[in-house]
Chain A
Amino acid sequence: MAIPLPWWLTVAAALFAIGLYGVLSRRNAIGVLLGIELMLNAANINLVAFWRYITPQALTGQVFAIFVIGIAAAEAAAGLAIIISAYRRRRTVVVDELDTMRW
């Protein structure tokens, strides 16, 4: 218990902000995907930290974290597949150019 809970939360928040920044600013779709991974992991840190400091007797935090990791893996697979597919079709992975879903 050397490090208090707010520190963990600060790290997680920083990580989330970095991830969000990446998602919003990266032009490369893979970069956006990486940013999402960072945001997910920030959430994981929060889950684990809250479990450790608030309810150590229940396993919910850990289990949630494992779910998130699993889903993140699936999401990464699906996202990459979409990116590859988009690349094959449009010969680009720049998000600004993938703008057909508009008026």
Chain B
Amino acid sequence: MEFIFNLTPLIPLFPLLAFAIIVLFTHRHNRLSSSIAIGGIALSTALGWTLVLATILSGEHAWAEGWQLRVPWLPAGTTVLELGFAVDGFTAAMLFMVPFVCLMIFIYSQGYMKLGQPDQDPRYARFFAYISLFAAGMLGLVVARDLVLLFISWEVMGLCSYLLIGFWSFRKADSEHHIDAAQVVRARQAALKAFITTRIGDVLLFSGIALLYSYTGTLTFRELFRPETLETLQAISLLGMPAVTVIALLVFGGAVGKSAQFPLHVWLPDAMEGPTPVSALIHAATMVAAGVYLVARTLPLFIAGFVVADAPALHWVAVIGAITALLGATVGLAQDDIKRVLAYSTISQLGYMMMGLGLGSLVAGIFHLLTHAFFKALLFLSAGSVIHGVEHGAHIAAHNGHGHGEHFSPNDMKIMGGLRHRMPRTFVAYLAGALALVGIVPFAGFWSKDEILAEAFHLWRADGTLNLPFWVWLAGTLGAFFTALYMGRQLGLVFWGEPRHAAARHAHESPSSMTVPLIVLALFALLFGFVNAPFLGNPLHHLMGNVHEVSEVVHAEAIPFNPTVAGISTVLAVAGLLLGWSLYRNYRAGQVEPFQAALGPVFTVLRNKYYIDDLYQWAIIRPAVWLANFCFNIDDRWIIDPFVDLVGAAGRAASDIARVLDSGVIDRWFVEGTAQLFNAAGRWLRYSETGHVQNYLLVVAVTILLLLGLYLYF
């Protein structure tokens, strides 16, 4: 069995190779490039699942016995920074999900990216190169043995998210494909926003890693999480807190950026400007999962910070998670863009994962991460299929002369309606994803969300007071209701009622390269929850429950199934779903939205995302732009450039003087004068050379006589 684990580095290597091959060799061949990308990720999937099987069979699930491979990577002075690969139960759980969902997205992309594009579009191959690199980043993160490889992968993903979110910014505005100039600008800004926002988190994470390394001299998880190392970190005081708390909070800062937690969540909805498969890739299987994964992986640091009283880093995770869960779910109620609703849903669900981790339950958080990856990828890809169908409908409508010619957004749910008859397979897939997200038995989301809520409920009841777990539970339960509400609204708007636009009227089902992955993912959305179902004995707990040291805060054993919790959340979910659906299924174009009528100004606040973006715009971006302008003026207008110009002008003046001196005096008198002197002398003296030998002899004789006379005279 051991030799299989030796192949671990190949898992991220396959997509990386695919990226290299596409970029270097095959980028002119679209079909070949996409096949290479799919082949790479398929190999990773096969190997990943083999490793999952091997891990399950070997029974060695914890770090202590887990398998590792180390590579010296960066010799720095006397120490060598090593990076390594390792597989334990937790990694295995991730390896089941990540490459497979990526594979589905890749296959789907092959159909989706042809949308309205000529086959020879060079960006088609580039797209597959980027997503391959992205997958390589995520897989590298998952199999990392230490923070070195983890951080490298983390940054690779950051770069790829920038490239992919801004993918359409390379397009030209084109009315044929409903691309207007504003959209191109939005893509560019979204890419920058995502990059800069996550960068804030990355800097925090890097500071945390640097602190860890300076205190402990190691970055491997296994060594960092040794009890004695953690005790050392607890003993050190930093900023009035135990160092381990500071480090945990810094690491959490990285996760907040990457996993779009409040207050750094603003980049994620804008990231919807990327192609839809990218949204699925970033917001389901890879990037946002990375932050949750990071917190889960470094959970012992948080717990160590928790154990030393009155500095509960872990509580911060739970609080931020709860705020994010509620914030995302409520904002999702008021969005019109089909993908933006899903984006806020993603933010909210990531909040749930953080809640789970913040309560100290690694398994609950990661279980939700896994199920969410499946059903959210499904939802995004289905949304992509809907958009695809509507865009095609717009083409057909324009062809038939029904096109109104006006600009419309194919993402706008207000123009859709009645699509369940026109796109039946997409509808079924969407419904499966929605039910899983809302948490209806027996779909995957029910089991994972229920476990988080049960965890909170259990901790509350164990204590009895209105403590943090109570508020977390309340936020989670309310969030579940809002989740159901916005999904009901979305289903009603998109799939029920009458089409509200010619494009929606002419929409039709997407090709099978797109719908087949949808069906596969729909099956997972339906069935995947059973990997940790309580009545099956919580198999996931056995796989990864004892990855970290068990303590009073973190527990390996699953909470027993709690009918009260499940009952409350199910009732709320069904109620929300039915309420949203019934209010919106007969929505007509131009009508005031039911929610708007009911909520009034609250709806406006939600629609404007609690004005958080505007706040950032006002408080951070405007001052930053002002400062940049100020610096620009200092540099370009007021001080530096004038000074530079002055120096330049002085130099020019000096060189003018030097030029006059040089050409007027030196050249004229010394150089040319000398030449003219000798020229004239030669012209005159040459007449003495007569060529008559007797003249010369005469000169000789006379000279001798003269010299003789001089000699004799003196």
Contacts and interface: CB of A to CB of B under 8 A. Distances in A.
Contacts of A100: 691
B686 A32 contact: no
Contacts of B686: 103
Contacts of B701: 20, 24
B694 interface: yes
Contacts of A72: none
Contacts, number: 30
Contacts of A96: 692, 694
B239 interface: no
B690 interface: yes
A93 to B, nearest CB: 13
Contacts of A101: 691, 693
Interface band, chain B: 10 to 19
Interface string A25-50: 10000001000000000000000000
B680 interface: no
Contact of A99 (B687, B692, B697, B698): B692
A32 to B, nearest CB: 7
A16 to B, nearest CB: 11
Identify which of B690, B693, B697 gathers the most chain A CB atoms within 10 Å of its CB: B693
Given A20-B701, A24-B701, A99 B694 contact: no
Contacts of A98: 693
B101 to A, nearest CB: 99
A61 B578 CA distance: 150
Contact of B692 (A23, A95, A103): A95
B176 interface: no
Contacts of B691: 99-103
A24 B697 contact: yes
Contacts of A32: 693-694
A101 B689 CA distance: 8
A62 B519 CA distance: 136
A95 B693 contact: yes
Nearest to B701: A20
A23 B686 CA distance: 24
Contacts of A99: 690-692
Nearest to A100: B691
A62 B137 CA distance: 114
Interface in A58-103: 95-96, 98-103
Interface in B648-704: 686-687, 689-694, 697-698, 701
Nearest to B683: A103
Contacts of A102: 689-692
Nearest to B685: A103
Interface in A1-25: 20, 23-25
A100 B692 CA distance: 8
A48 to B, nearest CB: 22
Contacts of B692: 95-96, 99, 102
Contacts of B690: 99, 102
A11 B701 CA distance: 19
B697 A23 contact: yes
B694 A23 contact: yes
Interface in B411-466: none
B710 to A, nearest CB: 19
Interface string B56-72: 00000000000000000
A24 B698 contact: yes
Contacts of A20: 701
Contacts of A23: 694, 697
Quick one: which of A20, A23, A24, A32 has the most chain B CB within 10 A?
A24
Interface string B290-326: 0000000000000000000000000000000000000
A42 B697 CA distance: 18
Contacts of B693: 32, 95, 98, 101
Contacts of B698: 24
A96 B693 CA distance: 8
A23 B689 CA distance: 19
A95 B689 CA distance: 15
A70 B698 CA distance: 26
Contacts of B689: 102-103
Contacts of A95: 692-694
A96 B696 CA distance: 12
Residue of A95, A96, A101, A103 ringed by the most chain B CB atoms within 10 A: A103
Nearest to A101: B691
B527 to A, nearest CB: 113
B703 to A, nearest CB: 13
A46 to B, nearest CB: 15
B456 to A, nearest CB: 116
A10 B689 CA distance: 35
A35 to B, nearest CB: 10
A52 B609 CA distance: 139
A91 B698 CA distance: 26
A24 B687 CA distance: 20
Interface in B612-669: none
A20 to B, nearest CB: 6
Nearest to A98: B693
B695 to A, nearest CB: 9
A7 B37 CA distance: 125
Contacts of B694: 23-25, 32, 95-96
B692 to A, nearest CB: 5
A32 B691 CA distance: 16
Contacts of A24: 694, 697-698, 701
Contacts of A103: 686-687, 689, 691
Nearest to A23: B697
Nearest to A20: B701
A18 to B, nearest CB: 13
Nearest to A97: B692
A85 B497 CA distance: 127
B243 to A, nearest CB: 99
Contacts of B687: 103
Interface centre among A96, A98, A100 (most CB of B within 10 A): A96
A99 B693 CA distance: 8
A101 to B, nearest CB: 5
Question: Of residues B686, B687, B691, B701, which shows the largest number of chain A Cβ atoms within 10 Å of its Cβ?
Answer: B691
B686 to A, nearest CB: 4
8 contacts: A20-B701, A25-B694, A96-B692, A99-B691, A101-B691, A101-B693, A102-B689, A103-B686
Interface of A: 20, 23-25, 32, 95-96, 98-103
A-B CB proximity, top 10 nearest: A102-B691, A99-B691, A103-B686, A101-B691, A102-B689, A103-B689, A99-B692, A24-B694, A24-B698, A102-B690
Given A23-B694, A101-B693, 5 more contacts: A24-B701, A32-B693, A32-B694, A96-B694, A102-B692
Interface of B: 686-687, 689-694, 697-698, 701
